[in-house]
Structure 1
Amino acid sequence: MQQISSFSEHQPGSLYLVPTPIGNLDDMTFRAIKTLKEVDLIAAEDTRHTQQLLNHFEIPTRQISFHEHNTEQRVPELIAKLKAGLSIAQCSDAGMPSISDPGKELVAAAVKAGLPVIPLPGANAGLTALIASGLVPQPFYFFGFLERKHQQQVTALEKLKNREETMIFYEAPHRLKKTLATMAEVFGDQRRIVLARELTKRYEEFTRGTLAEVLAWYDQHQARGEFVILVAGNDQPADATPATSQLSLTEQVDQAILTGLSTNAAIKLVAKQNHVKRQELYKQYHQL
């Protein structure tokens, strides 16, 4: 059992996880500013973006890049610096480190090495949208970004369609309509959703309605800014276990195909659900 007391005003050899504003710079906390000034190094997702923040708050601390494309190289390097006694603040471009942003690999490595990991509270787009959505705020299920390909989205959403919690997704503006259409395909177009865009910024906006209503609205309007999609939980979840347990494996594949999955995706899903080898089910389904 590992137990490390991590809080102090300033602790050498510690990894500080520092949230940054999701739009409005006034949401930067006093503690976050103080921490960024006192640490030896800032590991930033985009050093150019973070430099604007540092300039605004007159923070002179040196930066090093740490993003999804250099994680393998940077983690050992940063852990070595922490072990040498340097204090490091890790931050992403906006919001909480590790939440749909870089950070989790560095945190895991620091914990494994027995180094103090000190989280600071701060801005988070998902929770900010949730409390103003009008949907049931708890329990909730945070997903983040869906995969980009249609079939991958369908597969992920099929696993979520019977969840009773409010679900939170992130999406870029140029993919919004496609993602909403896929949600309507899987969840049904009468499922209630809320779109929150440009949170904490000048043009902050909430769009509320069914998937059908919101899709119709966005057919006539251009999507701008980053979006949080909040989907109401299923208040009448189907208990799939009794129904599918009475079906043969091939019948379960046929049923999955009816939901919009390709044959191969349906075979993969049914094989996983029934703990059988995909190749064997493939042969059985195609009578090979």
Structure 2
Amino acid sequence: MRGEAGPQAHDFPAVTAPGLESLGELDAAVAECRACPRLVAWREEVARVKRRAFRDWEYWARPVPGFGPADAPLAIVGLAPAAHGGNRTGRIFTGDPSGDALYSALYDLGLASRPTATRRGDGLELYGVRITVPVHCAPPANRPTGAERDTCRPWLARELDLLRPDLRAIVVLGAFAWQALLPVLADAGWQLPRPRPVFGHGAEVLITDPGTRHELCLVAGYHPSRRNMSTRTLTPAMLRDVLRRGADLAGLPRRPAAGTGPA
């Protein structure tokens, strides 16, 4: 059941998200949101001007929902859609170099039905994995403000709440995602270590729901940004290793790697 705030209201996510009863409802509500004026203006301006290579595309130009099954034991949390990636294609981590790296790695591990993602509705499936972000609109310079992150936070909180019965592990890609995620988990009642764990590639943190003793493992990894991949701060092998570790902790079955290339 939705709240009464309209999509343009600053408190639309906070009012709406807690009453949503399924990921389908959540995804539909996210796509309507216009709560952050700067992000709305940017995503729509990008869609109007376009990049030359995509001038024949009709851009999605809306908030980009999460992607993956509702009973996924593994979640992947990134940063935000890319202006000419998810903001164009309508699917998170799709249509940009970060998505190319991520979906290739998921395919290599048997967690995606194909190694490439082109657009929303292209038939791609994820197996046991749900991908989401703390900020659902493409931000200028890939840098959301703290206020925009906080306005968008209720969507992430409700998404993780709906995933909670089956969720066993979260792979957190990048320091922004790590810093955005920890308060959401703490507010949801997960018991976090003190002091708060610090982000670092390969870092792992086990947290617990004190009421149910449900355990959840966080695995940190560098974001597969163009810069990180081109400088080899993150290699394809490093990305696969982090995702494989998350899949193992989530209890997903190991599948033969499909066409893994050199690191």
Q: Shared topology, TM-score over 0.5? A: no
**Greater relative contact order (Cα < 8 A, sep 6+):** 2
* TM-score under structure 2 length normalisation: 0.31
State the TM-score, normalizing by the size of structure 1. 0.29
Between structures 1 and 2, the one with greater strand share:
1
